[in-house]
Amino acid sequence: MAAPLICPSILASDFSRLGEEVRALEAAGADWIHVDVMDGHFVPNITLGPDIVKAIRPHTTLPFDVHLMVAPVDPWLEAYREAGADILTVHPESGAHLHRTLGRIRQLGAKAGVVFNPATPLSILEEVVDLVDLVLIMSVNPGFGGQAFIDSALKKVAGARAILDRAGSQAHLQVDGGVTSANAGACVAAGADALVAGSFVFKGGNYAANIEALKAEGLQAA
């Protein structure tokens, strides 16, 4: 099996030099750029608006994996797609009609993802599995970087993998929150094929070595 996709979260980057950071991540072997968008309402933090996403888009050819932690989410889909998002991932709790939201993302020409917080039931995935290109399992409660991995998320990853496999879905299964080389293998063994990592990738400044460590642990577990 292939090594997992590594999707560094620029939430942990130096915001004063985002363009340089994105270029450095691509050079270091990242597969996607994970963009955490927070509105100070749905989650207790405020981060990157569409103009910032648009500004850094020319600095890399890697896919932009935009995780929208905003509510209501529907009014922002078009703006982030126009800013350069290749994947738009939304929470079931961020709008009244998840099915419609996922369909709209695809109409905009982006790939559609759905996010499961630690307390969000996986049964929702059964209802929209035919509309998703990405399933994101949160292994922390969203809103802040640098949190510790919640071990019970591994059971949810395995449950999501079972649902995707039963449906014959080719959607990626991603884990986000406290991911390090110490738990990357467990995430992949549970069924993930994409890993979001912020603090771990950026620590020490050796992005390439940190990304390689995640890939190696994931490949060993695959």
Distance of alpha carbon 125 from alpha carbon 163, whole angstroms = 8
Catalytic (active site) residue 193: no
Tokens of 1: 């099996």
Question: Cα–Cα distances in Å, from 182 out to 35, 52, 63, 136?
Answer: 23, 32, 26, 20
Distance of alpha carbon 150 from alpha carbon 158, whole angstroms = 14
Task: Write down the catalytic residue from 65, 74, 133, 176.
Answer: 176
Cβ-in-10-Å burial (0-12, 13-18, 19+) of 126 comes to: exposed
- Give residue 152's Cα distance to chain centre: 18
**Alpha helices (H) along the chain:** 18-27, 50-56, 77-83, 98-107, 123-128, 153-167, 184-190, 199-202, 207-221
Dihedral of alpha carbons 29, 183, 90, 147, sign: negative
Q: Which amino acid is at 190?
A: A
3-state secondary structure of 156: helix
Task: Write down the catalytic residue from 31, 36, 65, 74.
Answer: 36
Catalytic (active site) residue 176: yes
Distance of alpha carbon 41 from alpha carbon 121, whole angstroms = 22
Active-site annotation, residues? 36, 176
